[in-house]
Amino acid sequence: MTQAPTLHNLGGERFVLLTTYRRSGEPVATPVWVLPDAGAAIVSTPEGAGKLKRIRNNPRVTLQPCDRRGNVEPGSPVVEGTTEIIRDSAASEAVNRRLLRKYGTEFRIFMAIEWVLRRGNSNRVVLRILPTS
């Protein structure tokens, strides 16, 4: 008998598909980098990202393992959670250091591209995803 995946376990995946919900209830799925965090999962996203607006309206999300393009293997487990938005710059910097250790050069390249696209505004927000009770 296999054990159901937890948010903490999904934090060890290379990528997860984060699904947020529009006001209409329509799901919006985005592949993201992820970290484990004491029974939760941590995601970093740029300030102003659409997913933040959706999460402010509805903190319920789902996560499931995927590849970098968001492709999910058939039968992949889906884990539900509730998102807490953390805007603390120290927390964001700590998460970015952890992401750099996990993803290395790929993370550096992505952050450089994001910095150029956002014209030097590289403010990021931490999403802490907690298990649904």
User: So what's the architecture of 7-131 in CATH?
Assistant: Roll (2.30)
- Please say if the pLDDT value at position 3 is more than 70: no
pLDDT tens sequence across 73-94: 998 989 999 999 999 989 989 9
Task: Assign 75 to helix, strand or coil.
Answer: coil
Residue spans of the domains in the chain: they are 7-131
Mean pLDDT of the chain: 89
Output the CA–CA distances (angstroms, integers) from residue 105 to 13, 14, 54, 62, 82, in the order listed. Answer: 17, 14, 30, 28, 30
Task: Assign 91 to helix, strand or coil.
Answer: helix
Output the CA–CA distances (angstroms, integers) from residue 92 to 42, 89, 99, in the order listed. Answer: 10, 5, 10
pLDDT tens sequence across 39-79: 899 999 988 889 999 999 999 999 999 999 999 999 898 99
pLDDT value at residue 2 = 46
Which residues of the chain form beta strands (DSSP E)? Answer: 15-21, 27-32, 35-37, 40-46, 60-66, 79-86, 124-131
- Please say if the pLDDT value at position 1 is more than 50: no
pLDDT value at residue 53 = 93
Residue type, 88: D
pLDDT value at residue 115 = 79
